[in-house]
Structure 1
Amino acid sequence: MSWDVIRVVAIFFVIAGHVTGLASRIPGIEGYPFSLAIPFGTVTLLVLSGYFIGPTIRKGDAGRWLRARLSRLLPAYLVAVLLTYCVTRYAVVTFNGWWHQPGVLGMLFGDPVRPSVPTVEFPWHVPDLNDLLLNVLLLHEWNPDLVHRIDGSYWTLPVQVIAFVCAALLWRSKLRHRVRPHTVLWAVTAISAASPLLSLFMSSVPTATGTFYGHLFAAGMAIWLWQHDRLPSLQLVMLLSAAVGLHALRASAPEVASVIGLAVMLVLMCLAAKGPDWDVPVVRLLRRPISWLAGISFGLYLVHQQLGYVLARWLSEAGFGPWWLRLTVIVTAVVVAAWLLTVLVERPAYRVLTRPRTRGTNSAVAVPTRANAEPAVSVGGAT
C-alpha cells in the first residue's frame, strides 16, 4: 500500500501540472484560477521504475523479465499513440480553421487544406505520418523539434525501454559478479551528470539515449539495495543527494518547489522500503480508491496530456460551464479513458504475451504466477 500511495501522489502531480498549468499556455484553452504545476511527478515515477527493477529482475531469466516488462509497456503505448494521433488529426485541423482531405486516408495522412488567408494566429501542430512513425518506433526523442510530439508525455517511453534493456544486459553479464553495486550506481550517475556534453555532437543525444535520466534509475536501485542491506546508508544518502542535485540543476520553474518535492518523495520511498506498510487512518479509509488509481496509473500517464488538451479546447470553444465543471469533466474523462486502456489493452496484452507455452501442444496455457499479477507501478508500466 505504501508504494501505491507514492505512485498516486506522483501521477497526481503529473496530471495536475499538465491540466492546470501547461494547458493554459496553449492557444484556445481557457485557463483556471490556479495552477498546480510542480514538475517532480515524472522524475519520481522514473525513480520508482528504477527501484522495482531490483525485486523483479532477480526472479528469473533476464530475457524473460525483459519480455514481461515490454509486454506491459508497449501494447498500451502503441494503442495510445494511434488513438492520440487520430483524435488530434481530426480535431486540430478544425481548431486551425482548415479542412481535411476527402476520405479516411486523407483525414489521417493527407495534408490539410488551408484557407488562402490565415484565420488562426497561433495554429496547433497537425501531426503527420512522419511524427506517427517516429513515435511508434520510439525514435521521437531524436527529433529536436519539440513541436513534432504527438504527446509531450511520451518522452519517457524510450527512456524506460533503454533502461530495461541495459538492466537485462547487465544482469546477464558477469560484470555484476565482479563489480560492487555502488560502483555501478556511481558510474551511471556520473554518466548522467556528464551526458549534456553529448549535445555537442547532436542536441537530442542526451535525452534520446536516456543517459540524461540515468541518475533517477540509479537512485531507485540504491533504495532497493539499501533496503536489503546491500548498500551502506552513507552511500545511499550520497547517491540520493546526487540525484536531487542533478534535478536541481535541470528542473524547470518553480525550481525550489520541484527540488523539495523530489526530495520528499525520495524520503517517502526510503520509509516505504525499510519500514512497515503504511496503515494510518487516512490511507486505510482510501485504500480501495488508491489501489484502483495505482492500478491504472500507466493508462493515466498515456492519455491525460494531449487528449486532455483536445477536450479542454473543445469545452473552451463551446463555453462549457464554469472552470470547476470543465476541470471535473476533463479529469473524469481522463480517468475513464485510462481505465478502459488498462482493462481492454494493457492487462489482456500482458497476459497473452507472457503466457507460458506448454511443450508438445499447440495451445498456450496461462499459469498464474506472481509476475502475471504484478500491477504497473511507473511511467512505463514497469514493476
Structure 2
Amino acid sequence: MSVAVFHLLAVAGWGTGVNIWGRPSSAVFGHVFVAASYGWVGVPLFFIISGFVIPMSSWGRTPAQFATSRVVRLFPAYWVCVLVTTAVVRLYPWVFKPLPVRAVLTNLTMFQDPLGVHRVDDAYWTLWVEMKFYLLFMVVIWLGLNYRRVVAFCLIWSVATMWVGELNQPWLNAIVMPGYSQYFIAGIALFLMFRYGRNLVLWLILGLSWVLSMHFYAGNPWQQIVRQSYAPASILVTLCFIVMILVALGELNWLRWRGLTTLGQATYPLYLLHYVIGFSVIYYLNEKLSLPPALLLILVLAALVSTAWLVHRLVERPFAPWLRKALSRPILERRLPQVPMQRHPAVAGQRQPVAVRPVDGGPGGHDGDSRLRRPAADPPFDGDLAPR
C-alpha cells in the first residue's frame, strides 16, 4: 500500500509527461505529499519478506518442486494483470503509450528486463530482481538446504556485495545486485533465527545487512530527484528491519486478525495492477468528475484492492492447483495403450527361469555369500507400461 500511495500520490505521472492530478502533487496534497514520497521504502520491506519466506517455502523441497512453486505463485496473476494493463492502455492511451504486440508477448515471459524490452508496467522492475534471487538461492537448494550451507550463502553474498564495486564488472553487478542483495540476506538470516534460534553469527549477518542498506539507499534515484532529507528514509528502513526481527522472534504472533490474511492475498495482484491502471483511472476521473483529490485517491485505491482480490479469488485460487499438477508430472512420462500381460507363459518341456537378485548386504550387494539369492518380486502392474 505504501508503494501504491507513493506512485499515485508522489510520483503522480512524473516521467510520463502527464500529471494525473492536473497540477503538482505537492500543491495538491501539501504535507501528505512529503510523507507519501517516502513510500518507496515498501520495496526494501518486501525484499526482506521475500528473503524470509523463500527459504521457508523451499526447505525440504527439490529444485524442481521449488521452481514449480514459484511458477504457480507468480505467473497466473501476472499473465492476467499484464493483459488487463495492456487492454487499459490500448483503450485509454492518454497517459501511457501502448506497446507493440511483440513487446507484450515478451512481457508475458517475465524476462523483459534481461531481453531489453520495455515493460508493460514500470513497477514490474522488481520482478526480475526477485527472479534473480530465486535463481541464486536455487544453487543452495540443489546442494541441499541446511543451516551451514545457508549461512555460507549469506556470508558469500555479503562479501560479494561489498567487493563487486571494486571489480567494476557490469555482468557481476547484475548477478550480485548490490543495493538490493542486503535485504534478501537480512530476510534469510531472520528466517534462520526463526527456525533455529538466534546466535551471534546471525546477528552479525543481520547487522552487516543493515549497514549495507544504510550505505546503498543513498543512491535511490527518487531521493536524488526530489532532494529530500535521507534521515526519514534511514529511519523507515531501520523500522522495516525491526518489524521483521519481531516477526522472526515471535513477538508479533498475537496478530491474528483474519482481515490481514485477506489483504495479504491481494498484495501481489495489487502491486501488478496499481501503477499504470491507477494512473490512467485517476487521470480520466479527474477530468470527468469534480471529486476532492483525497476522496478520489481513496476510491481508486479501494477499487484497486477489490480488483486485486478478485484476481486472487478468480485466477490464483482456481488455476494454481491445476498448474501445480500439470508442472509436477514427469517430463518423460508417456501413456501407452494398455496391453494384456501374460505372466510366465508355459512352454512345454521347459522350466521358466526365475529372476534373482542379491540379498542386501555388503559392498558387493550381498552379505559375502554369492549363493544367497532370492527371487525378484514381480513389479506392480496397473496397465501402464511406462517406467516408474
Q: Which position in structure 2 is the counterpart of 1:219? A: 186
| 3-state secondary structure, aligned to 1:317 | helix
User: Which residue does the alignment assign to 2:211?
Assistant: 242
Task: Answer yes or no: is 1:321 the counterpart of 2:296.
Answer: no
Matched, 1:289 2:255: no
Asked if 1:156 corresponds to 2:106, the answer is no
- In 2, the alpha carbon distance for the partners of 1:311 and 1:164 equals 34
Deviation at 1:164, TM superposition (A): 1.7
Query: Contact 2:13–2:279 at 8 Å: present in 1 too?
Result: no
Of 20, 30, 42 in structure 2, the residue corresponding to residue 29 of structure 1 is: 20
Distance 1:231 1:130, change over 3 A: farther
Distance 1:133 1:314 in 2: 27
Would you say 1:132 and 2:104 are equivalent positions?
yes
The number of equivalent residue pairs is 311
Match of 1:271 among 222, 225, 246: 246
Q: Secondary structure at the match of 1:235?
A: helix
Q: Distance in 2 between matches of 1:197 and 1:152?
A: 30
> Once the 2 structures are TM-superposed, how far is the Cα of residue 124 of structure 1 from its aligned partner?
4.0
Partner letter of residue 5 of structure 2? Answer: A
Cα separation, partners in 2 of 1:256 and 1:349, compared to 1, 3 Å: farther
Residue 89 of structure 2 contacts residue 96 of structure 2 at CA under 8 Å; is this kept in 1? no
1:160 is aligned with what amino acid?
E
Could you list the per-position Cα deviations for residues 229-266 of structure 1 after superposition, in whole angstroms to 9, with x for gaps in the alignment?
37525424433323423443333424332222121111
Instruction: Determine which of 331, 351, 355 is the counterpart of 2:301.
Output: 331
Answering whether residue 48 of structure 2 is matched by residue 47 of structure 1, we say yes
- How far did 1:216 drift? 1.8
Higher relative contact order (CA 8 A, sep 6+): 1
Q: Unaligned stretches of 5+ in structure 1? A: 1-11, 96-122, 363-383
- In structure 2, do the counterparts of structure 1 residues 199 and 156 end up closer, same or farther at CA, with 3 Å as the change threshold? farther
Question: Counterpart amino acid of 2:294?
Answer: W
* 2:319 aligns with one of 349, 358, 367: 349
How far apart, in 2, do the equivalents of 1:338 and 1:353 lie? 20
Give me the TM-score of the superposition, normalised by structure 1. 0.72
Structure 2: 5+ residue stretches without partners: 336-388
SS state at 1:354 partner: helix
Tell me, yes or no, if structure 1 residue 185 matches structure 2 residue 168: no
Per the alignment, do residues 231 and 63 of structure 1 end up closer, same or farther by CA in structure 2, a change over 3 Å counting?
A: farther
From the superposition, tell whether residues 335 and 67 of structure 1 become closer, same or farther in structure 2 (CA, over 3 Å): same
Distance 1:265 1:41 in 2: 8
**TM-score for the superposition, normalised by structure 2:** 0.71
Q: What residue in structure 2 maps to residue 260 of structure 1? A: 235
Contact 1:40 1:259 in 2 (8 A): no
Q: Cα distance, 1:316 vs. partner?
A: 1.8
Letter of the 1:21 partner, please give it: A
Q: How large is the RMSD of aligned CA atoms in angstroms?
A: 3.1
Deviations 1:321-358 (A, max 9, x none): 11122112211221121011111112222221223879
The offset of 1:68, in angstroms, is 1.0
Alignment partner, residue 99 of structure 1:
none
Give the Cα–Cα distance (whole angstroms) in 2 for the partners of residues 199 and 90 of structure 1. 44
Q: Deviations over 1:169-196 (max 9, x none)?
A: 321126x679654332122123334556
Distance 1:210 1:307, change over 3 A: farther
Greater CA deviation, 125-134 or 257-266? 125-134
2:273 equivalent in structure 1: 303
Map 1:202-217 to 2 at 5 A: 206=173, 209=175, 211-212=177-178, 213-217=180-184
Q: Which amino acid aligns with 1:173?
A: L
The answer as to 2:28 corresponding to 1:60 is: no
Distance 2:275 2:114 in 1: 21
Could you list the per-position Cα deviations for residues 129-154 of structure 1 after superposition, in whole angstroms to 9, with x for gaps in the alignment? 34323422323324779xx3321211
Q: Deviations over 1:95-120 (max 9, x none)?
A: 2xxxxxxxxxxxxxxxxxxxxxxxxx
Bigger drift between 303-312 and 214-223 goes to 214-223
Residues in 2 aligned to 1:305 and 1:131: alpha-carbon distance in whole angstroms: 18
| Structure 1 counterpart of 2:7, one-letter code | H
8 Å contact 2:270–2:304 — kept in the other structure?
yes
Inter-partner Cα distance in structure 1 for 2:207 and 2:252: 25
**43-52 or 60-69: bigger deviation:** 60-69
